[in-house]
Every structure is written in C-alpha cells, then in structure tokens.
Structure 1
Amino acid sequence: MPDRINVVIPLFNDWLAVGLLLERIRSVVDAPLQNRLAFLIVDDCSAINYDTLPSGIGKSLSILRLYRNVGHQKAIALGLAYLADQTDQYPTIVMDSDGEDRPEDIVQLVQRGIEKPGHVVFAHRAKRHESLTFRVFYTVYKSVFRLLTGKVITFGNFSLIPATQLRKLAHVSEIWNNYPGGVIRSRLPYTAVPLERGRRLAGESKMNFVSLVLHGLSAVSVLIDTTAVRLALFCVMMVVASIFGISVLLYLKFFTSTSIPGWTSYLTFSFLIVILQAFLISLLLVFIVLSYRIQPQFIPARQFNDFVERVERVY
C-alpha cells in the first residue's frame, strides 16, 4: 500500500461530531496507519462553522468548501472528483462524519483492499443500532431494491476505493445520485466485509422516514433501465393474467351451461381496466428510459469545479 490514504468525509453542520471522530481515530487507529491518512472534509455549505478542530492527526486535514448545499451523496461525488483531479492518485476511504462508520474498522477495509486488489471494498452492516422502526423500513428498502433491480445492496457509503479505480469512478455519472448504487452500475469490481455499525458521537441523525425513502428512490433511479424492464415484465404478467381471466369468463358464459353471476360483468370490466393501465404504465416506462438515455449526464470529474468555492488547509 502507498504511504498515503485519502479519507473523504461529507459534512453538514456536524463539526462537533467530526472533531470527536478525529479524536477517536487518534486513539484507536495504530500510528503506522494513522500517519498515512489524509483527511478531506467536504463541507456541504454548512450554516455554521467550526470553532476548533483537532490537529496533528494523520498526514493532513483539508476542507473542501462548496458553494451550495447539494446533499450527502453529491458531496461524496464532489470529494471523489476533486481527489481524482489531483496529479497523484491514492486509495480513498469514504466515511460519514457522525462516527457511525467506526474508525477502528478502517484497518479491516485496508486489509481487505490488500487481499482484493482493484476492488472497491464496502462495509457490510452485520449489526445496526438504530430504532426498530428504522431497521424494519431499512429491511423493506433492501427487499424492494432487490425486487426492482435484481441487485443486493447491504452496504452504505463506508468504503475503500483503490487508487487505480478512483478516476474511473469519478467519471461514473450515477454516483451523483447514489454512491453505492453508482458503484454497482459502473460494473467496477467490488466486495464487502462484515462490520458493525457504530453509534453517533454527537448530535441527532438527520435520517428520518422521508429521507430514507428519498435515499431508496435515488438508489433505484441509478438502475432505472433494469427497474423499467422489471416493471414492464410485471405489467405484461398482469395483462396475461387479465386476458386469461376474461377468457375463462367468456368460456363459462358461451360454451358451458354454468350459471354466471351478474357481478362477472363488473369483473370483466375490471380486467379490461387492468389491461389498459398496464399498457399505459409500460408506455410511460418506455418514454422515461428513452428520455434518460438522451439527456446529457452529469460527470463529476468534469463539472465538480462549478460547485467548489475553495479548499482550506487546516494542517
């Protein structure tokens, strides 16, 4: 491994938490590895600024200031694009600022990266500490994601990107919407190591039901082509089932002596409505996919400078 590992930390107002995170890195990460860490905090246009930040932790600490708030996933994409634009390329770790990505697990990501060269290494969440309601909805999200995309997503942002893949990933437009989904869409090799999720060091989590739904939709949107095909196939199945139902009713009415209840006419009409709706949904999906393909894509590596106000070197 090279003598430098970049650490991208997206942040919005969580200065107290990131200060505690850095202190924890100082206390739990062995000096040989700690001295190789170069921290890049991506300030997502925070409404407040830090009072003080710990010093002397790792190789360096810089703050990438953004002109406007773009959200957690886009802040990650901009941080990666900024590092990919540098002359020298190094392995890059992505971790949250709140401490839920445990600093003591950095060594396991690095070790897995050595075992799987060229692979993006994600932290698979083997154990979580959120509320029961959050865990239930998160399980539903993973199930829906698998149903719509055919992919299994059991990881978040905490990951290690090898130096050889950083520039490639920065040219993947899908990381602008969802970083883990973008890695899946990019077809770059990736793996995962089971790690426990930590607890927030300070403040309250900004992830609620609405933000979880939006996060899930952004992940699904990254694989819109696959999702559209699966939904279209579901519509075809509904049409086939409706035609079969109508055929059975017509057969019973005209070719058998079976008494047909009066409500079967309403059932036939309902089947026709299902067929019409399935056709319209399929048509809409076709237009959505065609529109997606002809629209110019945002490439973080090319356009990240439009969002960067300045870079501050703390030490």
Structure 2
Amino acid sequence: MDRTLTDIPTAPTDRVYIVIPLFNDWEALSLLLEKMTKTVAPALRKRFHFLIVDDCSVTNYASLPTDTGYSLSIMRLWRNVGHQKAIALGLSYLADQPETHTTIVMDSDGEDQPEDIARLLEASAQKPGQIIFAHRTKRRESRLFRTFYLIYKSVFKLLTGKAITFGNFSVIPPNLLRKLAHVSDIWNNYPGGVIRSRLPYQSVPAERGARLAGTSKMNFVSLILHGLSAISVLMEATAVRILLFCVITAAVSTVVITVVILLRVTDQLIISQGAIYIVFSLFIVILQAFLISLLLVFIVLTYRTQSHFIPAKQYGDFVEQIEKVY
C-alpha cells in the first residue's frame, strides 16, 4: 500500500483536503463535484485535494470531473466497514502524511452543500484551534424521519448530558488532525468521538441540502444503529446516568414499601391483598435496579481495562490501495 502522496504534484501550502466516504454513490459524487465547480470560487477550489474513501463499493465510477480541485485520489478498502469507520480511516491516512493540512469531512450524496465550505473555512480561520461542525438548521427528510431524529437527539441528551446537533460535515484544523486520529472513539462515531475526546469544537448553522442522486441509505433501522453507536461512544457518562436512575428508583421503591408495610401493620390500609401486590411489585423493581446497576459496573470496568482500536496505528490493515484519478 502506498502510504504517501508523493505522486501528487507540489501544491500550495494552504491546501485543503476533503475526505468523502462513499459506498456505491458514484453518480451523486460526480454531481457533487460538478456542483462545486459552480458554487465554489476558483481560487478556493484550486486548494482542494479530494480523498474519496471507497467503502468496498460493488460498483465503480464511469467518469469523474477532473477540474474540480487540485487533485483527487480514491482510497480503496479491503472490506465494507461502514460510514463512520470509513471517515476514521480517511482521517488516519492523512494524519500519517509528513505534513498535516486543513481537512474537511463531508458526505458524497450532496446533502452537505459545497457552498457552505467557505463559511466553515472562514469560521475555522477565526478559531484555528477548534473543529468546526455544520449545525443543521433545516432538514429535508420526511416528517416521520425528522420526528424520530428529534427523539434520537432527546434520548442522546438525556443519556449522555451532551447535545448533538451536527453530523459529519466539519473542518479539522491541521494541529488537531493527528490528535483526532488517535481518538479510538471516532472508529464508532465521528461526531460522538469528537465530543468525548474533549478537543475544542464549535458549530455554525448550515441548511441541509437535497440528495443529488440515488436513494438515502439512512432508514429507521440505520438511524437506531447510528444513535446507538453515538451513545456507546459516551458509554461511561451514559452508565453513570442509568446507575443514578436505578439508585433513585430503588430508593423510592424502598420508601413506598416501608409506607405500605406501616399502613398494613397499623390497619390503615383497607385493601390488604392490594398491599401484597404493591410490595411484591416494588421488590421486583428493586431487584431489577440492583441487577442493572451491577451489570453497568462490570461493563464500565471491562471497557476501562480492554485495549481499544487506534485508527492512526491500525488503519493500514484496511486499505487495499490509493488510486490517483488526477
């Protein structure tokens, strides 16, 4: 595997790398690149170096525009690893180069609009030590999908204590790229990994665009899996919150059982059979809360002691080749 970009001609030092994960979306990618030629200023486009992370697609491109940026290369993976892992591999590859540069992560379907790149880069220039995300102000999916997405964000906030209002579209400054590539959590979920890494980040508003071609692969099941992967990144915070909930539930149940027993002993509870049901039900609740708490403790302890996948060190095992298009 070629681990360097030495075959790419010398470019301006203010180059911008754009990492685009892709799975069979070659038509959308071609339209996205064409859209860039119409919406991005030529002076900025000359700085673009595209790295397309081909997530082991079963199809290949027929043709791609060759005048969108300074260069375009395709990272071919040995196997399909999923959208988030493909991003981690692309970032790790760039972090392994002799020099790091400003890096943009965006999707291939066109929902991340090229005209927002300049705004993200401007925000990054004003705050050079922070990762800048595009905060979605408007989504174009169906009402049902938007409803479930809102539920996902609410559950994420409840379980982790963190608000997540952004996706993958972001700008990473050169001084943070190698640090981010050593964050194991971006292997499961890139935005969640940034949050957990405690690297500084901000977000700027950006409207989500429409898919340029094909159909979205994000359905109800995919959304649930995506949400679970994001929550799993912040597992320790989630476990603490669930543990506190179990403790509070057990404490309240114990108080209620005590009150019921006292009322029964003093003959102030009229329905004695109902009192038995209440005590038995709450005892089951206490037992379940104890077992859940015990399970969470073991999970967290296991998570802390096991070795984690570091994308920067192990990305090469997944890369078949780097194909230079222009």
TM-score by length of 2: 0.95
Match of 1:16 among 10, 27, 30: 27
Residue 235 (structure 1) aligns with: 246
* In the alignment, structure 1 residue 212 sits paired with structure 2 residue 220: no
* In the alignment, structure 1 residue 280 sits paired with structure 2 residue 282: no
SS in 1 for 2:128: coil
Give CA deviations for 1:140-168 in whole Å, capped at 9, x if unaligned: 00000000000000000000000000000
**Distance in 2 (alpha carbons) for counterparts of 1:57 and 1:24:** 9
Residue 52 (structure 1) aligns with: 63
Percent of matched pairs sharing the same residue: 64
SS in 2 for 1:193: strand
TM-score by length of 1: 0.98
* In the alignment, structure 1 residue 83 sits paired with structure 2 residue 133: no
**Distance in 2 (alpha carbons) for counterparts of 1:92 and 1:142:** 26
* In the alignment, structure 1 residue 110 sits paired with structure 2 residue 115: no
**Distance in 1 (alpha carbons) for counterparts of 2:218 and 2:28:** 15
Residues 45, 65 of structure 1: 8 Å contact kept: yes
**Distance in 2 (alpha carbons) for counterparts of 1:44 and 1:95:** 15
* In the alignment, structure 1 residue 168 sits paired with structure 2 residue 168: no
SS in 2 for 1:121: strand
Residue 207 (structure 2) aligns with: 196
Note the aligned Cα RMSD (angstroms).
1.0
Give CA deviations for 1:60-87 in whole Å, capped at 9, x if unaligned: 0000000000000000000000000000
SS in 1 for 2:295: helix
Shift >2 Å, 4+ stretches: 255-261
**Distance in 1 (alpha carbons) for counterparts of 2:48 and 2:268:** 82
Give CA deviations for 1:199-241 in whole Å, capped at 9, x if unaligned: 0000000000000000000000000000000000000011011
Report how far residue 293 of structure 1 moved. Answer: 1.2
Query: Structure 2 unaligned runs (5+)?
Result: 1-11
Query: Structure 1 unaligned runs (5+)?
Result: none
SS in 1 for 2:250: helix
Cα distance change, pair 132–165 in 1 and its aligned pair in 2 (3 A): same
Report how far residue 247 of structure 1 moved. Answer: 1.0
Residues 264, 275 of structure 2: 8 Å contact kept: no
Match of 1:61 among 53, 72, 90: 72
* In the alignment, structure 1 residue 139 sits paired with structure 2 residue 124: no
SS in 2 for 1:97: coil
SS in 1 for 2:205: strand
Report how far residue 257 of structure 1 moved. Answer: 3.8
Q: Comparing 93-102 with 31-40, which one deviates more in the overlay? A: 31-40
Q: Please tell me the residue identity of whatever aligns with 2:63.
A: T
